[in-house]
């Protein structure tokens, strides 16, 4: 059975959204580098981002049919936001 145009679009949109989420969290690298260099950033935003990603990851994993795009998009947020949070102190 062939996917409809709408299904293909939704699939593509999900992949683009997942990629953008990963890129958003990878963008913490400059903040982490600054924190490690002694230019400490505010820990509140990365902490909230990390908690948000934990909740979304749990949601994706707890679905009857695991929602891998949500999980994959949020795991880098847990890692990078967590590192940014910890190094901000």
CATH code for the part of the protein at 5-87: 1.20.1280
Query: Where do runs of H (alpha helix) occur along the chain?
Result: 5-26, 29-36, 44-62, 68-87
Q: Specify the pLDDT at position 2.
A: 66
pLDDT tens-digit series, residues 28-72:
999 999 999 999 999 999 999 999 999 999 999 999 999 998 999
Tell the burial category of 54 from Cβ atoms under 10 Å away from its Cβ (0-12, 13-18, 19+): middle
What are the residues whose beta carbons fall under 8 Å from the beta carbon of 67, sequence distance 6 or more?
59, 60, 61
Q: How far apart are CA 72 and CA 66, in angstroms?
A: 11
54-65 pLDDT, tens per residue? 999 999 999 999
Round to whole Å and give the CA distance between 55 and 57.
5
């Amino acid at each position: 059975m062939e996917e409809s145009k709408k299904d293909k679009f939704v699939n593509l949109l999900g992949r683009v959204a997942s990629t953008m989420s990963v890129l958003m969290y990878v963008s913490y690298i400059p903040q982490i580098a600054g924190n490690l260099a002694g230019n400490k950033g505010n820990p509140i935003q990365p902490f909230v981002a990390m908690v948000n990603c934990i909740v979304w990851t749990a949601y994706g994993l707890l679905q009857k049919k695991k929602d891998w795009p949500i999980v994959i998009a949020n795991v880098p947020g847990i890692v990078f936001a967590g590192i940014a949070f910890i190094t901000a102190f």
